[in-house]
Amino acid sequence: MRRPPPLLQCIALALLGATRLAEAQRAPAWCARPDTAGVEIRFLDVGQGDAALIVTSDGRRALIDGGPDGDLLDAYLTRDRIDRLDLVIASHHHLDHIGGLPAVLASRAVTNVVENGMPATTRIYGRLVDAMARRGSRVLAATPRELTLGTAMFRILPPWSAAEDQNDASVGVIVSHGAFRALFTGDAETRAVDAWIRDGRIPRVQVAKAGHHGSRNGVTPALVRAAAPSLLVISVGEDNRYGHPHPEALAAWRAPTRRILRTDLEGTIRVRGCADGRYFTTTAREGGR
């Protein structure tokens, strides 16, 4: 049998690679029995901001940050028929992380709220405080603690004790379900991140959300070594004015065995974490974004 010309071979290999990538993105949506649902983390495409919805196998729901736009976040939650949240975690009080939370608190039952305890003078912070008061949600201090939500556990990483600004006062979170773990560091910058590492608070994880939208000041070599995720998710807005993600951050995280997904390129990124430590991902453009 004659071999195809080199050019046709290249085209065939490229098509095969594209097919395999598509198959990987359409990986089985369910875990092995009896843990078929696992824990689902939806990194929502909210532009230049952070918002992640977590749904446990028994239907409990948590939200880590709310992005900059209440209407957009409300549309996502309404589409998925989310009318109640068991837990909301505001990593810190910048608009791109809490802008959507007052609308959520105004329209949905919210049982518990965790926030960093550092007041801000901004209008959006005032709206958040008013919304929490009107809703009557229980506000939990961001102390080192573990919050169990159905089959998932949320380990709170307390804000750096020497923090002087909102970024470094970010609340960190480790979401776990059996052997699966995902890390959220808010916008904590290098000194705050390294303080968590010195205190032994950062374990190995399968999934990490890039700190500070992929900023160079949100990652350190020690963090990469400690967490060592196989999937890095960057929540970032298209053509944002900050230049996120920075090339230095991408270089720090890049590894042959690590996949990097970005909301500006992929849209909403869904991760289903299984109790045996495996996880599956799908991506989708939603809401016209």
Q: CA 72 to CA 96: how far, in whole Å?
A: 12
The 10s digit of each residue's pLDDT in 26-57 is: 445 789 999 999 999 999 999 999 999 999 99
Structure-token pair, residue 81: 């028929």
Q: What is the pLDDT of residues 117-139, one digit of tens each?
A: 999 999 999 999 999 999 999 99
Within a domain: 19: no
CA-angle at 242, arms to 246 and 93, nearest 5°: 110
How many folded domains does the chain comprise? Answer: 1
Predicted confidence (pLDDT) per residue in 264-282, tens digit = 999 999 999 999 999 999 9
Residue 231 tokens, joined: 């999937």
Assess if residue 21 is contained within a domain.
Answer: no
Please give the C-alpha separations between residue 287 and each of 3, 46, 74, 90, 127, in angstroms, as whole numbers. Answer: 46, 10, 11, 23, 25
Judge whether 176 lies within some domain.
yes
What does the pLDDT average to over 203-211? Answer: 98
In a domain? residue 263: yes
CATH number of domain containing 62 = 3.60.15.10
* 217-227 per-position pLDDT tens digit: 999 999 999 99
Q: Which helix (H) or strand (E) holds 271?
A: strand 268-273
Tell me the mean pLDDT in the region 206-223: 98
Tens of pLDDT, residue by residue over 55-102, are 999 999 999 999 999 999 999 999 989 999 999 999 999 999 999 999
Q: What is the pLDDT of residue 25?
A: 40
Domain that holds residue 120: 30-284
Residue-level pLDDT at 285 = 80
Distant-in-sequence, close-in-space partners of 194: CB < 8 Å, separation ≥ 6: 220, 222, 223
- Any domain includes 51: yes
Residue 279 lies in a domain: yes
Torsion region of 65: left, alpha or beta (phi above 0 gives left; psi -120 to 50 gives alpha)? left
In the predicted model, what is the mean pLDDT of residues 104-108? 95
DSSP letter, residue 11: H
Give the pLDDT mean for 198-225. 97
22 in a domain, yes or no?
A: no
Residue 164's identity, in one-letter code, is E
Q: What is the mean pLDDT of the chain?
A: 90
Sorting pLDDT into bands at 50, 70 and 90, what band is 23? very low
Q: Which of 94, 71, 44 is nearest to 237 (CA)?
A: 44
Confidence (pLDDT) at 28: 54
In a domain, 237, yes or no: yes
pLDDT band at 164 (very low <50, low <70, confident <90, very high): very high
